[in-house]
Amino acid sequence: MTSTLTTTDEPIGVAVVGAGYWGPNLVRNFQSSTDFHLRWLCDLDVGRARRVLGGYSTVGATGDLTEVLADDRVRAVAVATPAGTHLAVAMAALRAGKHVLVEKPLAASREEGRRLVAEADRRGLSLMCDHTYCYTPAVLRIRELLHDGHLGELHYLDSVRINLGLVQRDIDVLWDLAPHDLSILDFILPPGIEPVAVAAHGADGIGAGRACVAYLTLRLNTGAIAHVHVNWLSPVKIRTTIVGGSKRTLLWDDLNPSQRLSIFDRGVEVAGAEELGPDQRRDMLVSYRSGDMVAPTLMEREALRTMVEEYARSIRGGIPARTDGRAGMRVLGILEAASRSLAEGGRTIALDREGDR
């Protein structure tokens, strides 16, 4: 991304487009941020926008995106509209010279995401994807532990995101829930480690016309494996991720606020495995390490607050956000390949990562 600096310390004028499910959360966090000055809330239902803002707000409410983009006080736009509209809204904002934050997914397809990234690069603007989970204290700590080698070499990742959830009308469970887990995986992987292939299996037990339960298996370029289970039909809610390393294994239980992270110094060790041939490894010595469990203290903080700070850092510094447009493209690429695998009975699909970096 070409640098377009905001050198002044004055708050950055921002507009939120979309007052539905996610828009009010963005409004609240932009209004409480010292980095931003919320100028507009734009929604086709102007009445809904006014209700979100409240009767005493000085923020403008409008149903006209053109009016918002013509305001020179607006330097940044946050898009919280349905995924099918992301390309049109975000592209219009970029062409108007605005920095853009887009609710996940970045776009409805990888090709649409590529077009947005190319436009932002050409204009030297920040394009950021709101992969909110990446900015939770737990995920930030997991990223740190993997990057600094505390967990050792990554062997596997296993993520479960299930609930008795709302069956969507226009997308399957993969596109509804898996973007969270895929964006987290992309965020925490150390440099040089990436998925190279994906296989997906799903089922529609209630006749919804789309997969309501799905399993994704990703192969990494190191030989490690990542597995994601998403489910709309579970009577219990589970959000757990296990990150298995050569030194330690981490458990993240997002529904346990008193102990979200647990790090286990337990595992399997093989004596001299690197010196043995394939036929000899059947007789190798396997030992089990049983050390302590540590539960790191995490400072509870709303992820959206940290995300908003990252958006401001990207704009002011002229540098890519940690979940920039290319991160959004990588997630879209995996989702598209997973959908293809699902349609082809679970066939493993190689990932094309050219242009995602």
- DSSP-derived secondary structure letter, 167: P
Same domain, 110 and 155: no
Q: How many domains, the chain?
A: 2
User: Do 162 and 295 reside in the same domain of the chain?
Assistant: yes
d(CA 26, CA 328): 19
Residue that terminates a domain, selected from 103, 125, 147? 125
Residue 129 and residue 111: Cα distance in Å, rounded? 15
Residue 2: CB atoms within 10 Å:
10
Say yes or no: 148 and 100 in one domain. Answer: no
8 Å CB contact between 131 and 324: no
Residue-level pLDDT, tens digit, the chain, 357 residues: 444 454 567 999 999 999 999 999 999 999 999 999 999 999 999 999 999 999 778 899 999 999 999 999 999 999 999 989 999 999 999 999 999 999 999 999 999 999 999 999 999 999 999 999 999 999 999 999 999 999 999 999 999 999 998 888 888 999 999 999 999 999 999 999 999 999 999 999 999 999 999 999 999 999 999 999 999 999 999 999 999 999 999 999 999 999 999 999 976 766 655 566 666 655 566 666 677 889 998 988 999 999 999 999 999 999 999 999 999 999 999 999 999 999 999 999 999 876 555
Tokens 């990057």 identify what position? 147
- CATH number, domain of 91, equals 3.40.50.720
Quick one: 229 and 342 in the same domain? yes
Mark which of 125, 147, 162 sits at the end of a domain: 125
215 and 244 both lie in a single domain: yes
Query: Are 246 and 162 part of one and the same domain?
Result: yes
**CA distance between the termini of the chain:** 11
CB 91 within 8 A of CB 81: no
Q: Do 153 and 210 share a structural domain?
A: yes
CATH number, domain with residue 274:
3.30.360.10
Domain that holds residue 81: 12-125
Residue 224 lies inside a defined structural domain of this protein: yes
Neighbours of 65 (CB within 10 A): 21
Would you say residue 284 lies in a domain?
Answer: yes
The token pair at 339 is 């959908």
Q: How far is CA 39 from the centre of its chain?
A: 27
